Amino acid sequence: MTGIAARVGSDVTSGYCRRVDGSRLPLSPRTTSLVAAALLLVAQLASSCAVAQQPPGERGDPSRETLRRQQELEDATRGARPTAVTPSRVVEYEEVLARPNDIDLNFAWAQTQVLRGDIKGAANTLERMLLVAPSNPRVRLLYAIVLFRLERLDEAERELAIVRDLPMEASLRSEIDRYRRDIAQARKQTRFTAQLSTAMQYEWNRNASPRSGESSFLDLRFPVASQDRRKSDWQFQNIARIEMTHDLEYQDNHRLTAAATYVRGEQARESQFDFQTGSIEFGGVIDMAPTWLVPNVYARRLRLANQNYGRVEGASLRVEERFSGRFHIYGFGEVETQNYHRTSRSTRAPERSGMQYAAGVGSGWIISPQHRLNLEVGGLLKSAHKDYESYRGPTASLVHTWLLGQGVFLVTTLGGEINLYDEPETVVSVRDRRDRIGRARTTFGVPVGVFIENEAIAQAEPIKDLTMFVSLEGTRARSTITNYSYDTFRVTLGLTKRWDF
């Protein structure tokens, strides 16, 4: 015990109590025993309170942040895919006017047009180039890619067949074969994508133990119980996901989507943090170019420590406005019901059941061929069964993706939130609870094929679209209540594989 509790405990065990003026008054043996028992009871209650609390970073679904990290990884993997579209530098039209016969400059200009979303302009540029350089494989490949982007699949396939017979580097030939597979995939009205990720993760403070080493109870501070002191642990993590896209038979690009995801995290020592999540979702895309509507409904089932932990059902809507191929803005809203069940580790979980609402705006910007930025700000409102578990506050995130070439990428994410709770939990403290949580994460990814010199082996099915990644993440939480102030960091090393069929 510390503070008042420490002084009282020391005095009582010595057989006296201390007056206000500091003098000591002897206690009878019976009084000493009663006071000592009362202090022991208070300490036990404080320890029980600490055990019942749930780590602030995992108020509900422990897989939510895992899925967010996985989505960032998947987006970066797609964006970093090597392609003839990516220019070595951005070219302006004035440069082309100054040197109209420079093939390399015109080629870079066509790539820049694609980057800026001017696909039809790039097609016109490449058609003019093919009049003077019909046997240039780079030009024909890029023209085929542009036709593919314009959904002129028959013409794109014809161009790929022509360029396939021209002399070229092995890397270009592999890209041609990849786009031929993409065209065959695009012809399907119903398409499937499967992803599998497996990783090992080390976390320094897995149980989010208070950084002060103390826990508040009735506004008295006690040392954190031994079973709740900081524990580091390893986790073996698996994520499996399958997605379906079905094109509707309309001129516009309307489509239906569905997906199923399974997440499993197994701890090496702290089995109370083992979790499994199964989810399904259904949605679609309504193409009202340049505006897209993306509705989605979903349901998740949660297990914690191999016990039924809860279920979440919700719906979201995203409205996206595309100004060009380089810049877009969007607004989003989400509402979900959360129902949590009591477990041996989290006996108070039902108190956190209730509704959760989120809304915000964001923007995506391709700054250059190598750098992409996404900024999002919003707000979160949780209405729980108990007011001391209800909170509201702003959220923000900034994601920078750096494409380093050959499919290598670096994704850096900064995020944070402020949670203002509706009322204090008086058994802990009468003070208002205010949490400030910040996160920083960086993920480095490398296609396994980069390490294989033989292009045929690198593009073989077991190796193609197989990416190795390492992720470093830190979380800093500060609160007006010492119980909820903690620091932790994670290191994750894993592999992710993608299949299209």
HEC per residue, 208-231:
CCCCCCEEEECCEEEECCHHHCCC
- Alpha-carbon radius of gyration of the chain: 29
* CA–CA dist 132, 101 (Å, integer): 9
Cβ proximity of 107 and 129 under 8 Å: yes
Mapped onto helix, strand or coil, the DSSP state of residue 73 is helix
Count of other CB atoms within 10 angstroms of residue 85: 18
Pick 136 or 234 by higher pLDDT.
234
- Reported in sequence order, the residue ranges of 341-465 that DSSP labels E, i.e. its strands, are 354-366, 371-384, 391-405, 408-421, 434-447
* CA–CA dist 237, 275 (Å, integer): 10
Q: Which CATH superfamily is domain 191-228+235-500 in?
A: monomeric porin ompg (2.40.160.40)
Size (the chain), residues: 501
- Residue 366's pLDDT band (cuts 50, 70, 90): confident
List Cβ neighbours of 140 (8 Å cut-off, separation of 6 or more).
Answer: 130, 134, 159, 162, 163, 166
- Residue 451's pLDDT band (cuts 50, 70, 90): confident
List Cβ neighbours of 454 (8 Å cut-off, separation of 6 or more).
Answer: none
Q: Residue 2 has what pLDDT? A: 41
* CA–CA dist 9, 77 (Å, integer): 59
Q: Residue 86 has what pLDDT? A: 66
The b/e string for 281-298 (b: 16+ C-beta within 10 A; e otherwise) is bebbbebeeeebebebeb
Pick 203 or 407 by higher pLDDT.
203
* CA–CA dist 127, 223 (Å, integer): 75
Tell me if domain 93-186 and domain 191-228+235-500 are identical in fold: no
Q: What is the pLDDT of residues 39-50, one digit of tens each?
A: 555 555 544 454
Q: What is the dihedral of CA 311, 436, 263, 347, to 10 degrees?
A: -50
Rounded to whole angstroms, what are the CA distances from 291 to 121, 316, 433, 461, 483?
21, 17, 41, 36, 46
Average pLDDT over residues 248-274: 89
Q: Which CATH superfamily is domain 93-186 in?
A: Tetratricopeptide repeat domain (1.25.40.10)
Cβ proximity of 437 and 455 under 8 Å: no
Least confident among 190-194, 334-338, 417-421, 463-467 = 463-467
pLDDT at 311 over 90: yes
Mapped onto helix, strand or coil, the DSSP state of residue 321 is strand
Amino acid at the residue 216: S
Task: Characterize the bridge pairing of strands 486-500 and 466-479.
Answer: antiparallel
Pick 289 or 130 by higher pLDDT.
130
Q: Residue 8 has what pLDDT? A: 45
Q: Residue 243 has what pLDDT? A: 95
What is the chain's mean pLDDT, rounded?
Answer: 84
Q: What is the pLDDT of residues 370-394, one digit of tens each?
A: 889 999 999 999 999 999 999 999 9
* CA–CA dist 133, 155 (Å, integer): 18
Taking phi first (over 0 means left), then psi (-120 to 50 degrees means alpha), and beta for anything else, what does residue 117 get? left
Cβ proximity of 319 and 293 under 8 Å: yes
* CA–CA dist 461, 369 (Å, integer): 28
Helix orientation angle between 153-164 and 137-149, rounded to the nearest 10 degrees: 160
Pick 92 or 205 by higher pLDDT.
205
Q: Where are the domains of the chain?
A: 3-49, 93-186, 191-228+235-500
